[in-house]
Amino acid sequence: MSPPLPSLGLRRRVERVGAAVLDGMDAGFELARTFGATVRGVFRSQRPPGEVLAQMYVIGNKSLLFVAVTLGFIGMVMVYQSCLQLNRITGDLSQVGPEFLKLLIQEFGPSITALMLATRVGAGIAAEIGSMKVTEQVDALRMSGVTPIDYLITPRFIASVIMTGVMTVFAVLIAFAAGGLTAASSFGVNANTFFDPGRVRVFDIALGAIKTLSYGMAIPVISGFCGLRARGSSEGVGAATTAAVIGSSLAVIVLNFIISGTGLLLLGDGR
User: Where on the chain is the footprint of other proteins (CB under 8 A)?
Assistant: 46, 48-49, 135-137, 139-146
Distance of alpha carbon 212 from alpha carbon 255, whole angstroms: 10
Least distance CB 150 / other proteins (angstroms): 10
Please enumerate in sequence order all residues whose Cβ is within 8 A of that of 52, keeping only pairs 6 or more positions apart, or say none. Answer: 155, 158, 159
Nearer to other proteins, 232 or 261 (CB): 232
Least distance CB 136 / other proteins (angstroms): 5
Distance of alpha carbon 131 from alpha carbon 184, whole angstroms: 49
Least distance CB 135 / other proteins (angstroms): 5
Distance of alpha carbon 240 from alpha carbon 263, whole angstroms: 33
Nearer to other proteins, 29 or 257 (CB): 29
Nearer to other proteins, 51 or 107 (CB): 51
Nearer to other proteins, 100 or 157 (CB): 157
Least distance CB 28 / other proteins (angstroms): 20
Q: Which of the 8 DSSP states describes residue 47? A: S
Nearer to other proteins, 4 or 49 (CB): 49
Cite the DSSP H helix spans in 60-201: 64-89, 96-103, 109-134, 137-143, 148, 154-187, 191-194
Least distance CB 155 / other proteins (angstroms): 11
Which helix (DSSP H) or strand (DSSP E) does residue 149 occupy? none
Least distance CB 246 / other proteins (angstroms): 22
Tell me if residue 229 falls in helix, strand or coil.
Answer: coil
Cα separation of the two ends of the chain:
68
Residue 56: closest CA among 175, 193, 161, 169: 161
For the chain, the helix, strand and coil percentages under 3-state DSSP, each to the nearest 5: 85, 0, 15
Nearer to other proteins, 30 or 136 (CB): 136
